[in-house]
A = this chain, B = another copy of it.
Amino acid sequence: MTIKLDPWGHFAIKEYDKLFKQFGIEPIDKATPLLPKKHYFFDRKIVFGHRDFDKWLQALRNGEKVAVLTGFMPSGHTHLGHLMVIEELRFLQELGAHVKIVIADAEAYAVRRLSRKETIKYGIEYIAHAIAWGLNPEKTEFYFQTAQKTEYYRLIQMFSRRVSMAEMEAIYGDISPGKIIASLTQAADILHLQLPEYGGYKHVLVPVGADQDPHLRLSRDIADRFHTELGLNRPASFYHKFIRGLDGNKMSSSRPDYAIFLLDKPDIIKRKVMMALTGGRATAEEQRKYGGIPEKCTVYELYMYFLYKDDRELYKLYKECVEGKILCGEDKRIAAKLLVEMLTEHQKRYKEVMEEGIVQKIVKIPSF
């Protein structure tokens, strides 16, 4: 049986076990102890699996040059699903890794069919949020796929020689010229940092959702095929569960009522949280008797991903919920309050970043 890797879906642990067995993704536990510093994303298994992340951490500990590369598809406003990736990058930068972020505007244009103007506008928004959240604008590299250097594009052309239509079909199913270019562009994103022209980073880590693993597998194969010619090595990767939308499905800007956008105003945030799907019972009475089901609750996920960084706090909430000691209404009010605080603070910094024109100062914006 083949598992469909759904990037934004919510997997049960059982399904993750299959991922480990079928695709050779390792459970994160083996790598976590090598982290020089703890982060709750790893302890809570939000980051649940990896390829060669242990080797990458060992290189970091050995003082070797290490880099992180991940991408954002600029196809809508930035929401909490993106913020968890930004938080990962912030943490990895804190550990001493060089961080590079690609805005996949070529892909958004070709595959998602957005206008160039929209993709560029959304791209600038992502970058501003990343800086506002704490990525160091002087140390972080950002680029648009359509505003890169020659050596990067040359990789796309060169890679095309050693990949097959069958590989493209394995990634996309139904293929098109747009998807083929997007796929080879992603391989160039993942591998270009290893070129001398781009810093010669031989240990590159790619944090992504599990749905992106086919791209990682392709990039690892391409690295093998160009090892001699271009000196490329396999990238490492780790895989996270995405925070769900407030209706329990994937959080997506295409269903804005169930996503928390980073620029949502307090009253909007409160309204969305109060409407959210929980693991509550039909009546308050039943809930007091049987307790809630946090595993089903999208508000519980807000606490787990962002609001309660302290495991004891989170555990206390979990316990109170399953024992029926806290009801969904109260739980939501607390979550909404904490989320408003977090995002109000963030929006203040976002505003400063935009007013100072930092993005335009540090990133080459495509001309059309």
Q: How far is the CA of A228 from the CA of B185 in the complex (A)?
A: 26
Is A58 interfacial (CB-CB < 8 Å)? no
Is A136 interfacial (CB-CB < 8 Å)? no
In the complex, the chain B residue whose C-beta lies closest to that of A161 is B110
Is A6 interfacial (CB-CB < 8 Å)? no
Is A360 interfacial (CB-CB < 8 Å)? no
Is A22 interfacial (CB-CB < 8 Å)? no
B160:A181 contact, CB within 8 angstroms: yes
Q: How far is the CA of A224 from the CA of B160 in the complex (A)?
A: 27
Q: How far is the CA of A44 from the CA of B229 in the complex (A)?
A: 47
| Total copies of this chain within the assembly | 2
Shortest Cβ distance from residue A340 to the other chain B in the assembled complex, whole angstroms = 40
Is A133 interfacial (CB-CB < 8 Å)? no
Give residues 180-219 of A contacting B (CB, 8 Å): 180-182, 184-185, 197
A157:B368 contact, CB within 8 angstroms: no
**C-beta contact mask, A45-63 vs B, less than 8 Å → 1, else 0?**
0000000000000000000
Shortest Cβ distance from residue A175 to the other chain B in the assembled complex, whole angstroms = 7
* CB < 8 Å neighbour of A161 from B157, B178, B185, B229: B178
In the complex, the chain B residue whose C-beta lies closest to that of A151 is B367
Shortest Cβ distance from residue A176 to the other chain B in the assembled complex, whole angstroms = 6
Q: How far is the CA of A176 from the CA of B158 in the complex (A)?
A: 13
* CB < 8 Å neighbour of A184 from B164, B168, B181, B368: B181
Is A109 interfacial (CB-CB < 8 Å)? yes
Shortest Cβ distance from residue A325 to the other chain B in the assembled complex, whole angstroms = 55
B147:A109 contact, CB within 8 angstroms: no
> Total interface residues on A, using CB and 8 Å?
39
Q: How far is the CA of A109 from the CA of B162 in the complex (A)?
A: 10
In the complex, the chain B residue whose C-beta lies closest to that of A113 is B161
B178:A160 contact, CB within 8 angstroms: yes
A165:B158 contact, CB within 8 angstroms: no
B157:A177 contact, CB within 8 angstroms: no
Is A163 interfacial (CB-CB < 8 Å)? yes
Q: Which residue, of A153, A180, A182, A184, has the highest number of chain B Cβ atoms within 10 A?
A: A153
In the complex, the chain B residue whose C-beta lies closest to that of A111 is B161
Q: Which residues of B contact A185 (CB under 8 A)?
A: 157
Q: How far is the CA of A124 from the CA of B150 in the complex (A)?
A: 19
Shortest Cβ distance from residue A250 to the other chain B in the assembled complex, whole angstroms = 24
Is A253 interfacial (CB-CB < 8 Å)? no
A176:B165 contact, CB within 8 angstroms: yes
Q: Which residues of B contact A116 (CB under 8 A)?
A: 158, 229
Q: Which residues of B contact A25 (CB under 8 A)?
A: none
* Known interface pairs A148-B150, A160-B178; 4 further A-B residue pairs with C-beta atoms within 8 A, sorted by A's residue number: A110-B157, A111-B161, A145-B157, A156-B181
